[in-house]
Amino acid sequence: MTTQLTPAQLTPAQQAILDHAHLHSEGKIEWFPDNIRGGARQKVIDGLFKRALITYDGKAWFLAAEGYDALGVPRKAPLNVQDLDTVIETAQQSKPRTRDNSKQAQVIAMLKRPEGATIAQICEATGWMPHYADVIVMPTCVGNPACVAESAAMKSA
């Protein structure tokens, strides 16, 4: 006969760790409260493991079925074949990010135009904040041929 744990039987640290794993990392134990360090982390892991709330897959710790029960939340169901096929198909159809279609390439193309580009135009096109966009176009390597477009745009500005 198994006894079901209630959230009240978990320490606040255990509750926080299990909640975080459930909500943020697909059940993987990868976060600890700031006050749990070093040997204390291992003691918390040992305590959770002895109570069968977590399991080890050889590389990482994960919430076990009993851990979900202790939290009072349903276990996350694995993807079915149809969902998995949809995810794979969507990933295959998406255009991979290469240097040719990166934001950096977009900015370089804008700077190569005869009229160049303003920081506001770069921010609008890329979604960057102005303080980031102006750093990107600073000519830090003027002698490098790869920076010719950025240097020319800066000189004309």
Residue 107 maps to a domain: yes
Whether 60 and 109 share a structural domain: no
Q: Which of 71, 91, 112 represents a domain boundary (last residue)? A: 71
Phi and psi dihedrals of 61, rounded to 5?
Answer: -95, 140
- pLDDT at residue 149, as a whole number: 54
Whether 22 and 67 share a structural domain: yes
Whether 61 and 104 share a structural domain: no
Number of domains in the chain: 2
- pLDDT at residue 1, as a whole number: 46
Whether 104 and 58 share a structural domain: no
Amino acid at 8: A
**Which residue has better confidence, 99 or 42?**
42
| Domain containing residue 137 | 99-156
- Span 37-59, pLDDT tens digits: 888 888 888 888 888 888 888 88
DSSP count for the chain of H helices, then E strands: 8, 2
Closest CA to 156 of 133, 141, 143, 139: 139
Whether 11 and 51 share a structural domain: yes
Q: What's the predicted TM-score (pTM) here?
A: 0.45
Residue 157 and residue 147: Cα distance in Å, rounded?
15
Contact 31, 24 (CB under 8 A): yes
Residue 121 maps to a domain: yes
Q: Which of 52, 71, 90 represents a domain boundary (last residue)? A: 71
- Span 108-154, pLDDT tens digits: 888 888 888 888 888 898 888 887 777 776 655 555 555 555 545 55
User: Residue 104: exposed, middle, or buried by beta-carbon count in 10 A (0-12, 13-18, 19+)?
Assistant: exposed
